[in-house]
Amino acid sequence: MEHFQENQAAAPPGERHDASRGLLITGLIIAMLFASLDNTIVGTAMPRIVGDLGGLSLMTWLTTAYMLSSTSVVPIAGKLADLLGRRTVYLTGLIVFMIGSVLCGMSQTMGQLIWFRALQGIGGGVMMPMAMIIIGDLFTGKERAKWQGVFGAVFGLSSVIGPQVGGWIVDSINWHWVFYINLPVGILATVFIALGLRDGRREGRVQFDFGGMVTMIVGVVSLLLGLTFGGKEYAWTSWQIIGLFVIAVISLVSFVLIESRTAEPILPVELFKNRTFTLINGIGFLMSVGMFGAIMFVPLFMQGIVGISASASGTVMTPMMIVMILTSIAGGWLVQKLGMRTQMIAGMIIMSAGFLLLTTMDIDTSRWTATGYMMVMGVGMGLVMPLLTLALQETFPKSELGVVTSSSQFFRQIGGTFGMTVLGVIMNHKSDRQLTETLVPLLKQLPAGRHGS
Q: Parse the chain into domains and list their residue ranges.
A: 13-203, 209-263, 267-421
Res. 211: pLDDT tops 80: yes
Most confident of the ranges 101-105, 200-204, 291-295: 101-105
Q: What is the pLDDT of residues 370-406, one digit of tens each?
A: 888 888 988 888 888 878 888 888 888 777 778 888 8
Give me the pLDDT at residue 250, please: 94
Q: Identify which has the larger pLDDT, 36 or 430.
A: 36
Res. 206: pLDDT tops 70: no
CB-based burial label for 432 (10 Å; 0-12, 13-18, 19+): exposed
Q: Give phi and psi for 352, each to the nearest 5.
A: -65, -40
Distance (Å, rounded) from C-alpha 47 to C-alpha 276? 44
Q: Identify which has the larger pLDDT, 342 or 168.
A: 342
Confidence class of residue 430 from pLDDT cuts 50, 70 and 90?
low
Of the candidates 286, 400, 305, 406, the one whose C-alpha atom is nearest the C-alpha of residue 348 is 286
Percent above pLDDT 90 for the chain: 7
Distance (Å, rounded) from C-alpha 104 to C-alpha 42? 11
Of the candidates 398, 397, 402, the one whose C-alpha atom is nearest the C-alpha of residue 80 is 402
The predicted model scores a pTM of 0.77
**CATH number of the domain located at residue range(s) 13-203 in this protein:** 1.20.1250.20
Number of C-beta neighbours around residue 6 at 10 A: 11
264-267 long-range CB contacts below 8 Å, 24 or more apart? 264/79, 264/83, 264/206, 264/207, 264/208, 264/209, 265/79, 265/209, 265/212, 266/75, 266/76, 266/78, 266/79, 266/209, 266/212, 266/213, 266/216, 266/403, 267/75, 267/79, 267/212, 267/216, 267/403, 267/407
Average pLDDT over residues 52-56: 77
Rounded to an integer, what is the distance from CA 153 to the centroid of its chain?
13
Give me the pLDDT at residue 440, please: 58
3-state secondary structure of 42: helix
CATH fit for domain 267-421, picks 3.40.50.720, 2.40.128.20, 1.20.810.10, 1.20.1250.20: 1.20.1250.20
Res. 79: pLDDT tops 50: yes
196 in Cβ contact with 27 (< 8 Å): yes
Average pLDDT over residues 7-22: 52
Looking at every residue in the chain, the average pLDDT score rounds to 79
